[in-house]
Amino acid sequence: MKNISLSIKITLVFVFVSAVTMFIFYTVFTSLFEKHTLLTEKEKVHLIAETLEPIISMNYYLGLAEETSNLAQRVVEHENVLGGALYIDGELLWQKKYDETMAHFHVDYPVRDALSGDEIGKLHIAYSMAQYNSAVSKMRFTLFNYLGLLSIFFLVFALFVRYLLNPLSVIAHRVKEYRLGDKLEFEDIRMEPETEVISEAFLLMVDNVREYTVLLEQYKLSVDESSIVSKMDPSGTITYVNDEYVRVCGYEREELLGARCDLLSHPEIDKAVFEEIWTTILEKRIWKGILKNKTKSGSDYYVKSTIVPLLDESSDLLELISIQHDITQVYEQSKQILKQTTDENTGLPNRIKLSEDVALQSDLKFGLFSLDNYDVIKNYYGYEAAYDALKQLSENFRRVLEPQGVGVYKLAGGEFGFLAKEGSDLVWFQQICRFAIEDTGNFQLDVEGDTVDLRASIGCTSNKGNYLSYSGLALRHALDSGRSLVYYEDQENLIAQHENNLLWTRKVKSALADDRITLFVQPLVDSRTMQVTKYECLVRLIDEDDKYISPFFFLDVAKKTKLYHLITAQVIGISFEVFSQIEDKDFSINLSAEDILHKETINYLEKKIVEYNIGSRLILEIVESEGIDSYDEITAFISKMKAFGCRIAIDDFGTGYSNFSYLMELKVDYIKIDGSLIKNIDHDRNSQIICSTILNFSSELEMRTVAEFVHNDAVLEYVQDMGFDYLQGFHLGEPVPIRDLLN
Amino acid sequence: MIVMKFMLTIFLLMLMHVNAFAYDYDPLLLRAQTTLFPKIVLLDQDVATKTEKNSLKILVLYADDDIKNAELTKKLIEDKYKKNNRNTMSVNLIRYSEFKSSEIATAYFLLKGSDESVKKVSSYAERNNRITFSYDYNDFERNALLSVIMKEKTYIYLNKESFQKYGIKFIPLFYKIVKVIE
């Protein structure tokens, strides 16, 4: 059926439809004609009977039998009436027999009484079908002739259609046989308006095809000249390679054609990559990626590869085309760039990469993470341990933060940068930062068998222009204020605080220069005798207005500068000089971790102890919360000071991380219970329990206990009853200038 | 003298004839009319409603001195259409002068009579939708319905004006054979 031309199909369809139409028309028409002709014939007979019946009836009524018979006889005078009979009152009045073999039909018409109308008989008429048959024959003959003429007309019409469609057939054959480069002409073909449009459309299409083919050839040339091109059949066998392909891989074209497509694949490439490529292609999708290949000589090269599955009209895989670009040089450069922008230890992007990424963002959320005790780890466990801590932390951040869309960068020292993805919510980012701090707090670093807890702080900012400065300020503020997370939002406040720090730094410097650092002493009373037996030295700064300034305002600022150790030296110098003149009183000075770890300070202390020979009266108060990170150094320091006869007190006990075993190791002589546990001890059950426990413990270890912050009689009475050895507080004696003791 | 006698005899005979028959009738015409009249009556589509005990009743009306023609008319009808088990037609004679409104019949055969008498019967027949058949077609001027004349052929005449008044419906065939007189 496919090979039959359109014109023949149209002709055949036309003939078929015409034949069916004519058959239906003939059948229906003849059927209707026969039916109606027969009906007409019967109506004729009825008309005859209807005409005669009243007369017959009348004559019969009037007893005119002969006239009745004569009248009936007139029925057969009709040329088509073959015969008949008249029955009235059961009596046959008239009859004419006929040849029943002749084609006929008969009608029995009732004869009614002339007066009553009652049926009294019937008039039987046999009517010949000759006229009917003649009419039907004539009709059939006429119809047959008519349909015959119509068939001839249809045939002529079909031939005419074929004649009209013939140019289309010629055009189709010429287009089918057209080959690129041939000349396609339709000028010799008889043209109708429609065929002219079709031929013009074909000519335009051929022109377009020619134009696109030229373009395609040029594209192909461009691709061949600029890319490494190969084609493969669906099984992965190479069927085509361009010159560039041959040049890059070093194989001969003959070696490549028919070879498997993985001929050039580098052995290092994971099998999963090939599985991914084939899965993608078999799903009829384009695969893109970078592949590492090896040349025939064995050298490596990288290609950026695009593998396109070419499909046929049924969407079945026809072949594969691979277009590759040699990116070996770019790849190596990228690796170098990556190296430059990556922290070698952690593998995280470094500050350079951070700057690049920040530059791409319009809405910045940045957090500067600082491992607070990074220096301690580095100093006490060495660089390897510190690097290991950073590496473990970085792996943890990658695992936890990067899935949340937070970029992690390794910055200087123990610092990391957290960069939220564009458009992140600030509150969410701060929660992420808090989580990072908590997670770090839960992180325990195992170094040489020791477990080291990590502490961290984060300064955040949304300021893109000065993100490092502002996050640094926020971080500094966090460290100063003891908060783990500070968001740089109150710029003025931070700046004011920064300026405040500068102011106090200047004041401390000035005070040191003008010898305006002095000491106050607060008495410690023996709880049994209520006699002052010791004094605690407290540093004060005398400002330019001769007012005494509490260390609360300047000591933290001083700690951030080198001035702090100078203050400590002043404390040592003044206290030793004064108490060397007061023989029966012990005294204590406070030392921080910074002091103990500061070699010059310790050397100065040792020198002064020896100089004043005052070690047996000196009590060194170490703040509990500061010593934990420098345990070994503290222990060594204590041992050294005990050799000088000094005693050791743990200050503010109950606020830090100390435990009793720690105290046992340090071999301290006094425990000064923090004022927060004493101030409500007369009515706070928790304070009572804690202090009672500490007292029992210290009693067992033969350590003396000091109750600070005794500020009223109730507290005094309670702590005396509990059994504290010494008492200190405003109720027992306010701090006074040290020089007053000499008076 | 003989001629005189013959002429006298003819005159007397003529005079006697006038005395014996007050009206002249064409015997041939009368025979034709009496033959056709019952048939015409039976061509009335509603004749069954106008019978008496399912029998045709025909009244022949005649003038006072026209009994013989009346009897002749009756005789001609009865001779033509003899009674049988189906045909129980009765033919009665009645003078115009004795005609009463109670004299209802299937149809009326009007012999010659005065204008008034013919009019009277015709009017009565008209009111009762009965056929009036007049010997003299001039009676059409006196509301008679039907008559038969003989020229080269025999014609049945129908008085159109009266027909519209009488309200009688004949079978269709009748209208094909009748001549309608305006």
CATH number corresponding to A6-135: 3.30.450.20
pLDDT at A345 over 50: yes
pLDDT at A416 over 80: yes
Do residue A63 and residue B47 have CB atoms under 8 angstroms apart? no
The residue in chain B having the minimum alpha-carbon distance to the alpha carbon of residue A61 is B87
Residue B130 Cα, gap to closest chain A Cα (Å): 15
Is B145 inside a domain boundary? yes
Per-residue pLDDT of A530-548, as tens digits, reads 999 999 999 999 988 888 8
- Ramachandran angles phi, psi of B108, nearest 5°: -120, 130
Average pLDDT of A244-261? 89
The answer to whether A718 touches A681, Cβ cutoff 8 Å, is yes
Residues of chain A positioned with their CB less than 8 A from the CB of B54: 115-116
pLDDT of A658 reads 55
Average pLDDT of A699-705? 88
Nearest to A58 among B39, B54, B84 (CB): B39
Residue B114 Cα, gap to closest chain A Cα (Å): 32
SS3 of A126, please? strand
Per-residue pLDDT of A45-100, as tens digits, reads 898 888 888 888 888 888 887 888 888 888 888 888 889 999 988 888 889 888 88
Residues of chain A positioned with their CB less than 8 A from the CB of B82: 63
The residue in chain B having the minimum alpha-carbon distance to the alpha carbon of residue A59 is B39
Average pLDDT of A320-341? 84
Report domain extents, chain A.
6-135, 227-336, 341-489, 501-742
pLDDT of B18 reads 42
Do residue B47 and residue A115 have CB atoms under 8 angstroms apart? yes
Nearest to B173 among A51, A59, A62 (CB): A51
Do residue A115 and residue B42 have CB atoms under 8 angstroms apart? yes
Laid out side by side, the sheet with A287-294 consists of A238-241, A228-232, A317-326, A300-311, A287-294
Buried b (16+ CB within 10 A) or exposed e, A557-590: bbbeeebbbbbbbbbbbbbbbbbeeeeebbbbbb
Is B73 inside a domain boundary? yes
10 Å CB burial of residue B15 (0-12, 13-18, 19+) is exposed
Per-residue pLDDT of A455-482, as tens digits, reads 889 999 888 888 888 888 888 888 877 7
CATH topology of domain A501-742: TIM Barrel (3.20.20)
CATH number corresponding to A227-336: 3.30.450.20
Q: Does B173 lie at the interface with A, CB-CB under 8 angstroms?
A: yes
Domain that holds residue B162: 27-181
Q: Does B43 lie at the interface with A, CB-CB under 8 angstroms?
A: yes
The residue in chain B having the minimum alpha-carbon distance to the alpha carbon of residue A117 is B48
Residue A77 Cα, gap to closest chain B Cα (Å): 19
The residue with greater pLDDT, A490 or A701, is: A701
Establish, for the pair of chains A and B, how many residue pairs have beta carbons separated by less than 8 Å: 38
The answer to whether A595 touches A559, Cβ cutoff 8 Å, is no
pLDDT at A285 over 80: yes
CATH number corresponding to A341-489: 3.30.70.270
Residues of chain A positioned with their CB less than 8 A from the CB of B87: 61-63
The answer to whether A491 touches A384, Cβ cutoff 8 Å, is no
Tracing tokens 């000491």 back to the chain, one arrives at: A519
Residues of chain A positioned with their CB less than 8 A from the CB of B81: 62-64
pLDDT at A627 over 70: no
Residue B161 Cα, gap to closest chain A Cα (Å): 26
The residue with greater pLDDT, A50 or B13, is: A50
ipTM metric: 0.75
pLDDT of B4 reads 54
Q: What is the CATH number of the domain that holds B100?
A: 3.40.50.2300
Residues 6+ apart with CB under 8 A from A229: A223, A240, A241, A242, A244, A245, A321, A322, A323, A324
d(CA A603, CA A10): 119
Is B159 inside a domain boundary? yes
Q: Does B83 lie at the interface with A, CB-CB under 8 angstroms?
A: yes
Per-residue pLDDT of A587-622, as tens digits, reads 999 998 888 888 899 999 999 999 999 999 999 998
The least confident of A489-493, A666-670, A724-728 is: A489-493
Chain A residues contacting B via beta carbons under 8 Å: 51, 54-55, 58-64, 113-117
Is B20 inside a domain boundary? no
pLDDT at B16 over 50: no
pLDDT of A526 reads 94
Which two three-digit tokens encode residue A149? Answer: 């003429």
Residues of chain A positioned with their CB less than 8 A from the CB of B86: 60-61, 63, 113
pLDDT of A113 reads 86
Q: Does B90 lie at the interface with A, CB-CB under 8 angstroms?
A: no
Helix (H) or strand (E) holding B16: helix B2-20
- Domain total in chain B: 1
Per-residue pLDDT of B39-51, as tens digits, reads 999 999 899 899 8
Do residue B86 and residue A61 have CB atoms under 8 angstroms apart? yes
Do residue A114 and residue B47 have CB atoms under 8 angstroms apart? yes
Residues of chain A positioned with their CB less than 8 A from the CB of B83: 63
| pTM greater than the 0.95 cutoff | no
Residues of chain B positioned with their CB less than 8 A from the CB of A55: 173
pLDDT of A361 reads 86
